[in-house]
Chain A
């Protein structure tokens, strides 16, 4: 088995059996993970290729190109692997998990604003899984994901990256 080269994008192997780089996630595992964790339909990723650049950072690209490839960016980051609990990115859930059916916590207006500003908050009403959740709220008649939260011991910790945090109006 070879090592991951953090300077280039390598396409993920199709299945664990095709794996040539130690510890690298496979496409099958990534698609299964989104389905198991958030109920995202595997068809969502039908035209998407997955790549690793950096240790465990997974990028989704809506086309295919020869692997490996040395460029500055390829699609968007969607997932962090190579750790005990895989962690979705804020941009990943907003792009690919808008229709998620599992582990989505719907926030009230004040909670939504606090979450977007990066604040952690006590939310005892959640009785689903612990771990990474999609925080969403209702806007203009439909549910919209805001980002990723980490739910532990009755607390929802905002994982909205600093560059995306905003102080927003509380909507009635």
Chain B
């Protein structure tokens, strides 16, 4: 079956949704502000005659109609990093501060990690973890190319990651951009739809729940955790977050996404999810001409979980 059939009833315009999923994805780069201003990066592309379009919702993102930036001076200088528009959302949602202690649970190959470093002004402690040793070399290479110097790279199973080995007591924030069925990347890899099975989805859910729970338990009260996937399946999205809401002291937070999104769903087939799941964001390809994505932002509760908690 084509899994996209399952989501037609969730979207506002099923035809536009299916059409967008059939179109190839534009090539997008993020400007690395640790190295350059967006203005200077655009000027360098102009000098080299590289065409680009500005992404209306974020001036750090540029679309390249001609494709890869791999052989331009701005790329070589680490000013640009090839990164899909929607994959900029987790770091923007977490919005870490300089000096924070942040964990990226599934970091390789590192686009989101390096984006986090940029937002942290390359300060504080950023832990980029991945369970796949082979992919860690890509993470290291990207981080060095982009000039990231606040990154600790670890190779552990995120589900039982410990901060003890690093010698810090708790996190200020975490990103759990978990392994998923990747339906939202179908514009890049149509294969994902052909290989899709419900069994695969069910197998991923346990891992996803384990990683999100771990991120919450490592984060201090008042700290924030962003959960994201590049898939549409509510089993991997709302159901996983709903499980965390039930089993931990984390709560959903409002986050104003900078692009058009649909709210998270509160029911799917025979399941009901917490009402606060509407604060999550679903990104469908036809909304902003991007890939598909899901992002939820949570605040970790507890005794001193911050002012907003007290006022509520």
Contacts and interface: CB of A to CB of B under 8 A. Distances in A.
A168 B72 contact: yes
A76 B143 contact: yes
Interface of A: 47-48, 60-63, 65-66, 69-77, 91, 94-95, 116, 139-142, 144, 146, 163-164, 166-169, 171
Interface string B120-132: 0011110010000
A166 B80 CA distance: 15
B152 A65 contact: yes
A63 B72 contact: no
B17 interface: no
A48 B141 CA distance: 20
B5 interface: no
B150 A71 contact: no
Secondary structure at the B interface, as helix, strand, loop or mixed, is mixed
Of B40, B76, B143, chain A has the most CB atoms within 10 Å of the CB of: B76
Contacts of A95: 147, 149
Contacts, number: 103
Contacts of A69: 152, 165-167
Contacts of B75: 166
Interface string B27-64: 00000000100001101100111000000000000000
A146 B43 CA distance: 18
Contacts of A62: 122-123, 149-150
Nearest to B133: A72
Given A72-B136, A74-B152, A166-B76, 5 more contacts: A63-B125, A73-B143, A73-B152, A140-B44, A169-B72
15 contacts: A72-B133, A72-B154, A73-B136, A73-B151, A73-B152, A74-B152, A75-B149, A76-B151, A91-B145, A94-B77, A140-B44, A142-B40, A168-B76, A171-B48, A171-B73
Contacts of B123: 47, 62-63
Nearest to B75: A166
A77 B147 CA distance: 10
A139 B73 contact: yes
Contacts of B2: none
B71 A168 contact: yes
B70 interface: yes
Contact of B73 (A70, A77, A168): A168
B44 A139 contact: yes
B140 interface: yes
Nearest to A113: B73
**Minimum-distance CB pairs A-B, first 7:** A73-B153, A66-B167, A140-B44, A140-B43, A91-B144, A62-B150, A95-B147
Nearest to A63: B125
Contacts of B124: 63
Contact of B77 (A60, A76, A144): A144
Given A144-B77, A146-B76, A168-B72, A71 B152 contact: yes
